[in-house]
Structure 1
Amino acid sequence: MSTTGTLTASSEELDGFSASVARAYFPHDLAIRAQAAGPAELRAVDLGPIRLARIGWGSEVAVESDHPGAWAVNVPRSGVLEARVGGRHVLSLDGQATVCPPDQPTRMTRWSADCSIVGMRVDRDYLADEVSALVGMHVDRLPAQLDLRTGGGRTWMALLTSIGAEALVSPELARDPRVSRRLAGTLSAAFVTACFPEEPMQGEIRPRIVSRVVAAMEEDPARDWTASDLARTAGVGIRRLQQGFRHYLGSTPTQELTAIRLRRVHADLLAGNADSVTEAAYRWGFTHLGRFAAAYKNHYGVTPSHTLRCT
């Protein structure tokens, strides 16, 4: 699903615009506080368990929603977003995010006419799994507001800005489920990290846990492994797994997976088991040929096409 559009909205036109926002982001009740001061805007793209939206009403409004089945993370890029979240008053400006829980009434008491948000809708169960994998515990409550100017919040905001801009302008990127899954996983992992800053690890990960993950990647290197998948295989959180890999292997799980895939491609090219570099790369899980070629040359000192020609 992708939606793009702008309009200069009267109160009657805002009713229709509100219906479009409900389909693209969340169902809601809309109250117009002041007549249109500028154009309304809606851009949205579906990344599976995550939806991204750019929304501006062009009028000062109040919006109430129960956010059924999903969290809403609303980042004003201009103007003022004032809300009641779980009985708490939350005022967010640029550099802050309002976090609205699923299946609970939240009222945006003031969405100023000049307020345009970038919103991230993330399915409740998907985020619960991501939190469990990343921080190793079940959490059903998040902070009502995030500071996006320091630490993990700044990192997530940079990713949201980058991925959001590309996906909202070129929604065809999300039509490949492998791409959309990776984008969603990247955004959700960074968001969870922003909500739960890293704490010092208590104790070390045993080397057999790292070996178990390496063995799983060796067994099926072409699988579209995510950080959450690897953490579940290890039975620990993502952070602890990454720390274990750094301690015992001096690399990250992603770097180790790339090395495994490169070895498989290299072996196929040397043995003449592929008609082309592209065939071998796709066979072992590489989806971005430019990055693959660069990684191969960095690892082996020659291009993959040179290896193929020498067989």
Structure 2
Amino acid sequence: MKPLYENCIFRSAERARAFDFLGEELVDHSMKWGRGLADTALFKGKLKHLELFVLRYGAEVTVDSDTFDGFALVHMSLRGGTGIEVDGRDLHVAEGRAAVIAPRKRLRLHCLQGAERMVVKVPYELLGPAPERGEGDIPVGSGFMVSRSLTPQWVALSQALLGMLAAPSDAVFSSAWVEHFERSSALFLSSHQPDPSYAWMSAENVREDTTRVASEPLALSHGAQCMERALEYMQSRMFAPISLSDLARAASVSERTLNVLCRRFHGVAPMTLLRNLRLDAVRSRLLLQPDANVTQTALEYGFAHPGRFAACYRERFDELPHQTLSRATR
């Protein structure tokens, strides 16, 4: 993230100034401040088409917005979490996860105190052609999470984009190559939507789409719904102590049933899944913030024993944390 942190375009403790500046730079919106002291900072980098930001408010804040004008936003939580309500769908973007949003009607974001996120502004024109595209059509769904299995790939693409920003001044990239890479990054998002039928929806069709999406969870098996509740509980408490009994209560099943479900859907025991999610989040932070302190980051995620943490990290990623940092700074 160093190329972005080196270009701070706004910083202020005044809430009114933050509202005015962010409205002009990102999207027109309204803001409601909550707990904590405002310390708004916006860092920016720009390629040929894509704009990359790191944004933090300091305090807890709720942001409301309507439709975007010709672009989608990719939100990736770097620190803390963000709750997103877009056109009737609820998304929880835990630390290390990413979501794509392009509201047809209404957007609300709730950022926790101290939260920080990376935002990529992607023009619709980069997201690929569509057959019989009509005026007002939008190339991505109104809101969806980048899947857990694909998040490392998005992190790698983000690192490559940041690397282009960090290139020395005498490095001359081919304009055609830069555009190709930007389009490839955007296409990665549009082509990995949970349901391709969400793509190329006009604003007039959003009501039908929202109704269909809202009914989809009913089609999930009872076991899948219980497992999803357990996962949401894990993601919303990435820094807090969690026991197996806590997870079972969140999923509304017994500990034995949760163990069976977790092994069926994820191939591991519940506490191993929790550990893996936290290891993934640590890795995402190390890749995106090369100046991060490994020990402090591990402690934040509940790894109290450095040696045991390093062993678990190596077992999962086949490298030690400091090796991840070394690769991120190259």
TM-score by length of 2: 0.47
